[in-house]
Amino acid sequence: MGIVEKIKEIEAEMARTQKNKATEYHLGQLKAKIAKLRTQLLEPPKGSSGAGDGFEVTKFGHGRVALIGFPSVGKSTLLTLLTGTHSEAASYEFTTLTCIPGIIHYKDTKIQLLDLPGIIEGASEGKGRGRQVIAVAKSSDIVLMVLDASKSEGHRQILTRELEAVGLRLNKRPPQVLFREDATVDDLIDVIEGNRKYMKCVYVYNKIDVIGIDDVDRLARQPHSIVISCNLKLNLDRLLARMWEEMGLVRIYSKPQGQQPDFTDPVVLSAGRGGCTVEDFCNHIHRNLIKDVKYVLVWGTSARHYPQHCGLGHALQDEDVVQIVKKKPCFDDACSNKVTWRLKLLSILKVVSFAGISKRSLNVKGPWFEVGDDFTQDIVHFVLYPCL
């Protein structure tokens, strides 16, 4: 019996079992078994080399967005309109057979948009290469679930169920499960498994030009939803703005000391990719820069006054201007290194020996020197002291 058959057998047993306090423990065990089997279903088969025809493409830009939905809902047309990349569109299903990337240039940032092949019911079990499509969606920052506004609401529930079956949790936060918290059995299983990914999802209802205004208003008022029409190019600007808002990208402009800020090439940060603090900004420029930072000056909405002296933990906001003030090079700090100090001491001893002074007249006590005669004191004062 395969993994899919085992999952279906357990689901049938759960459907037959009555839900009450007496069967609550038994149902929890069945849910745990299903979660374990679905995890095994996502693992590659043993003995495989890993090579094959996949959908994965190299990450590019400041963020990644995946278009996911049923066949013939307008994903390829939407990719062409937003990025200019040609993706074949036709009236028949499964026009797109592989992952087609495109780049959205929006607010001085580059966002990678992926057009994925349409998935069908049962994609979590491998039907229609659904597991490969969903695997690419899991590597994205947010998901745009493209739906046909003229179809029933059941498509949205089917896609959500398929994504949750492989460990994707849409528009949810990781549960903080405590013994005092009112958490469900599913939340506890998610925490124990530890392989769930929580990501944002925007439900994009396409083809609103074929339905009535009342239906458009009803769909537009649903949470995490937006209505568009690729045929008439309606509301595409609102879609870009909503996508930008959900991704939470933060543009930070650098200002060299004594110069004007550089507004041409911002440093783009996000909470999902490292964070948005001053420390994250420094690490984005260079990982060793943080050692030389004395303080930073910040202009923008995150500052109380202009400029504000901030530390590494200061949270930056969109379009802030940051000037980094470095520490001045200190000779004492450079000589604090043991290897450097020993090399300099060896060179000084050579000078003392060359001058005819006995090495025994130098009584070494840590970093300080006690000397016996005036000439040796001059040597120590002018040669040793600057190196300590």
**pLDDT value at position 347?**
65
As a whole number of angstroms, the distance between CA 152 and CA 194 comes to: 34
Determine the number of helices (DSSP H) and then strands (DSSP E) in the chain.
12, 14
Q: Reduce the DSSP state of residue 275 to 3 states and report it.
A: strand
pLDDT of residue 366: 43
The pairing of strands 293-299 and 308-310 is: antiparallel
Question: Which residues lie below 8 Å from residue 119, measured CB to CB, with a gap of 6+?
Answer: 68, 69, 70, 128, 130, 133, 134, 159, 162
Cα-Cα-Cα-Cα dihedral sign, residues 204, 206, 210, 213 = positive
Check if the beta carbon of residue 173 is closer than 8 Å to that of residue 200: no
Contact by Cβ (8 Å): 60, 99: no
User: For 51, left (φ over 0), alpha (ψ -120 to 50), or beta?
Assistant: beta
How far is residue 109's CA from residue 61's CA, in Å, rounded to a whole number?
7
- C-beta separation of 65 from 112 below 8 A: yes
Looking at residue 167, its amino acid is G
Which two three-digit tokens encode residue 182?
């009112």
Provide DSSP, 290-346. Answer: GGGEEEEEEESTT-SSSSEEE-TTPBP-TTEEEEEEEPPP-HHHHHTSHHHHHHHHH
Cα–Cα distance, 231 to 48 (Å, whole number): 44
Transcribe 173-236 into DSSP letters: ------TTS---HHHHHHHHH---EEEEEEEEEE-GGGS-HHHHHHHHTSTTEEE-BTTTTBSH
Contact 301, 317 (CB under 8 A): yes
Q: Quick check: 176 and 190 in contact, CB under 8 A?
A: no
> Which letter does DSSP use for residue 120 in this model?
-
- Structure-token pair, residue 384: 């040793």
89 touches 226 (CB < 8 A) = no
d(CA 106, CA 95): 28
**φ, ψ (nearest 5 deg) of residue 202:** -110, 125
Please give the single-letter amino acid code of residue 172: K
> Is 142 in contact with 201 (CB distance < 8 Å)?
yes
Checking 193-198 for CB contacts under 8 A at 24+ apart, the result is 193/35, 193/36, 193/39, 193/167, 195/39, 195/167, 196/167, 196/168, 196/169, 197/138, 197/167, 197/168, 197/169, 198/169, 198/172, 198/173, 198/174
Residue 344 token pair: 């300099």
- Give which of 277, 136, 250 is closest to 199, Cα–Cα: 136
Residues of the chain with pLDDT under 70: 1-4, 38-56, 87-97, 120-131, 175-183, 185-195, 329-388
Mean of the per-residue pLDDT values of the chain: 75
Cβ 68 vs Cβ 51: under 8 Å: no
The predicted structure's pLDDT at residue 370:
42
What does pTM read for this prediction?
A: 0.64
